[in-house]
Amino acid sequence: MKVILASKSPRRIEILHKHGIDAVVIPAETDESLPDGIGMTEAVEMLAKRKAMACYDAVHNEYPGHIIIGADTIVWKDQIMGKPRDHEDAYRMLDKIRGTVHYVVTGVALIDTDTGSCRVLSDITEVHCVNYSDADILDYISREEPYDKAGSYAIQGYFGRYIDHIDGDYENVVGLPFYRIEPFIRDYL
């Protein structure tokens, strides 16, 4: 395969594997600060492009004929909800989304290592949570699962029991909207 994933996310790696892609994994460390007032799609697209460009700058000469995939996922409920800082932050996020609807937004940047051409896109999934209890939140945040996830949860994990339904792409909520990028990476497979 001639795909480079500019992420160490085990969930993104798993999605690619599920679709028959064994990508070269080259995580890109970048500045993840955002300007005040930025919208949800603009935020993830900016961060995905930063990650893909950092990877491109580091390795494009070593990997001719490849495509680099950079991605970033956030949860949006009146504001960006990234990864929680601690138990209190995880509790705050999970309290905010219970019994309501929120959005999971993933931005993806695709860069051709030969030409440097870049395509950026995003996908939005509407997620409906059941009205779980305070005890449910406390039980969940006592586990390891919430702490490296945007919005403090993993739909594919234990928290899935608290999702009523989604409108949109499940893989987007996990971290990579494969159906959106497949047409652009087909030539590299």
pLDDT at 28: 83
| Percent above pLDDT 70 for the chain | 99
Reading the block at residue 84, the tokens are: 């929680």
Residues 69/6, Cβ–Cβ less than 8 Å: yes
Q: All domains of the chain, ordered by start, with CATH?
A: 3-188 (3.90.950.10)
Residue 20, pLDDT above cutoff 70: yes
Rounded Cα–Cα distance for residues 47 and 31 (Å): 8
pLDDT at 186: 84
Give 174-186 pLDDT, tens digit per residue: 999 999 999 988 8
Residue 104, pLDDT above cutoff 70: yes
Active site (annotated) includes residue 95: no
Residues 13/25, Cβ–Cβ less than 8 Å: yes
Give 63-99 pLDDT, tens digit per residue: 999 999 999 999 999 999 989 999 999 999 999 999 9
Rounded Cα–Cα distance for residues 70 and 184 (Å): 13
Write out the E strands in the chain. Answer: 3-5, 24-25, 67-76, 80-81, 101-112, 118-129, 163-167
Residue 1, pLDDT above cutoff 90: no
Residue positions counted in the chain: 189
Annotated catalytic residue, options 22, 36, 57, 72: 72
Q: Is the pTM of this model over 0.85?
A: yes
pLDDT grade for 47, boundaries at 50, 70 and 90: very high
